[in-house]
Amino acid sequence: MAGSVPEIQIQVNSKKGGNSIHPVEPARTSAGGGPPVVYREIKHFKKWFPWLIPSFVIANVVTFLVTMYVNNCPHNSVSCVAGFLGRFSFQPFSENPLLGPSSNTLEKMGALDVNKVVHEHEGWRLITCMWLHGGVFHLLANMLSLIVIGIRLEREFGFVRIGLLYIIAGLGGSLFSALFIKSNISVGASGALFGLLGSMLSELIINWTIYANKLTVLVTLVVIIVINLAVGILPHVDNFAHIGGFMSGFLLGFVFLIRPQFGWVSQRYASSAYSSTSAKPKFKLYQMVLWVISLILLIIGFTGGLVMLLRGVDLNDHCSWCHYMSCVPTSRWSCNTEPVSCMNLGWGCKFELHFPIRSCSLSKQITS
């Protein structure tokens, strides 16, 4: 064909705005005098209707209500908070300052108890603990975070990928926590929430070329991540679940949230002459490298973690400083497991429910 091949120019809108790619020149006349070459509007990044994340929020709320019904405070405690709620009333503040059930009830409902996972083959607790919460404050903090982060991700990437990412990251957080915390039981969705946060960072990295304000977005994400992980060094917060969930979500983001480069997208809407002379691969080389490395690390990490957990390995025995990742003692607080007053610590905190170490008494105390 005589004449030069028409060049397609595209305008990329950032994710904060629209998500369509529009040709700058919508039509041209072909060099041979034939019909004009029309470039249609490219709508590559489909917007999904977010229904799974709201369903997860409803499931967590319903599970909490069922837990409170099973708890039945008037039946097992002398005094209850908000006694007018009947069997839905809360345990005394001295036992659970989060406005929630007893630790015995949470254990019965499926809280993460490493002893039961290893010795009684109750591996399902690694999943069920994600849907339990220590109280109203704990539930509200996690669900608000899930709505803010999860709905945006589901709208961009769909319910299948975000649903799998949420569950697998939550499992990763529970698994990492179980390798370090042996004497306490834990509940909370924060491992999965930190997984979503980690996937936002890896999604930015693997789809680096589509962002207009790359450094601004990167700095903002890193600051948010550092602040939230720093909260975990306060006492009685399961930061191991935060770290495990974040690492799992970070690697899963490379696997699940990869997007084709725009050169490959645009050639699908170009004329045959343009496509044949400047064909581009669907993904860039660095994207494929990150995808393969992340998948390998995920397989190794989950396999190795499960094997060590089932063999009863305590990673504290092999890492003398690792306990500082979950709590750093200062003159203002201690990192022991004595019952203390609880405090809502903000975004996505996963709270530990501490057993008295000296015995297996049923009178367990709940702390944050």
- Whether 190 sits among the annotated catalytic residues: the reply is yes
Give the tokens for residue 312: 């009863």
Nearest residue to 137 (alpha-carbon basis) of 77, 177, 186, 188: 188
> Is-contact 169 201, C-beta < 8 A?
no
295 lies in which domain range? 113-261+281-326
Rg of the chain on CA atoms, in Å: 25
Burial class, 13, CB count within 10 angstroms (exposed 0-12 / middle 13-18 / buried 19+)? middle
Dihedral of alpha carbons 260, 263, 266, 267, sign: negative
- Catalytic residue selected from 190, 199, 248, 368: 190
Q: What tens digit of pLDDT does each residue of 95-141 get?
A: 888 899 999 999 999 999 999 999 999 999 999 999 999 999 999 99
Q: Given the residues 242, 271, 326, 354, select the one marked as catalytic.
A: 242
> Is 52 within the bounds of a domain?
no
**CA–CA dist 93, 306 (Å, integer):** 36
DSSP letter string, 39-90: PPPB--SPPPP--HHHHHHHHHHHHHHHHHHHH-HHHH-S--BTGGGGGGPB
> Considering the entire predicted model, what is its pTM?
0.79
**How many CB atoms are located within 10 Å of the residue 355 CB?**
19
pLDDT at 142: 94
Task: Establish whether 138 is a catalytic residue.
Answer: no
Return the ∠ at Cα 308 (arms to 305 and 310), rounded to 5°: 105
Average pLDDT over the chain reads 79
Buried b (16+ CB within 10 A) or exposed e, 26-45: eeeeeeeeeeebebeebeeb
CATH number of the domain to which 292 belongs: 1.20.1540
Has residue 185 been placed in a domain?
yes
**pLDDT digits (tens), the chain, 368 positions:** 445 444 444 444 444 444 443 344 444 555 555 555 554 444 556 789 999 999 999 999 999 999 999 999 999 888 999 999 999 999 998 888 889 999 999 999 999 999 999 999 999 999 999 999 999 999 999 999 999 999 999 999 999 999 999 999 999 999 999 999 888 889 999 999 999 999 999 999 999 887 778 888 889 889 988 888 888 777 767 889 999 999 999 999 999 999 887 665 555 555 455 444 556 777 889 999 999 999 999 999 999 999 999 999 999 888 888 888 877 887 776 676 544 333 333 344 555 544 332 222 223 434 33
Q: Structurally, how many domains does the chain consist of?
A: 1
Q: Is residue 69 in a domain? A: no
Report yes or no on 91 lying in a domain: no
Those residues whose C-beta lies under 8 Å from the C-beta of residue 280, and which sit 6 or more positions away, are: 261, 263, 264, 267
pLDDT, residue 328, reads 82
Sign of the Cα pseudo-torsion (24, 29, 31, 34, in order): positive
User: Amino acid identity, residue 47?
Assistant: K
Q: Strand 21-23 vs strand 27-29: parallel, antiparallel, or unpaired?
A: unpaired
Indicate the DSSP class of residue 323. Answer: G
**Amino acid letter at 202?**
S
**Integer Cα distance of 188 and 129 in angstroms:** 6
pLDDT digits over 250-296, tens only? 999 999 999 887 665 555 555 455 444 556 777 889 999 999 999 99
Examine residue 345 and state whether it is found in any structural domain, yes or no.
no
- Token pair, residue 231, equals 């909260």
Task: Give the integer Cα–Cα distance in Å for 9 and 22.
Answer: 9
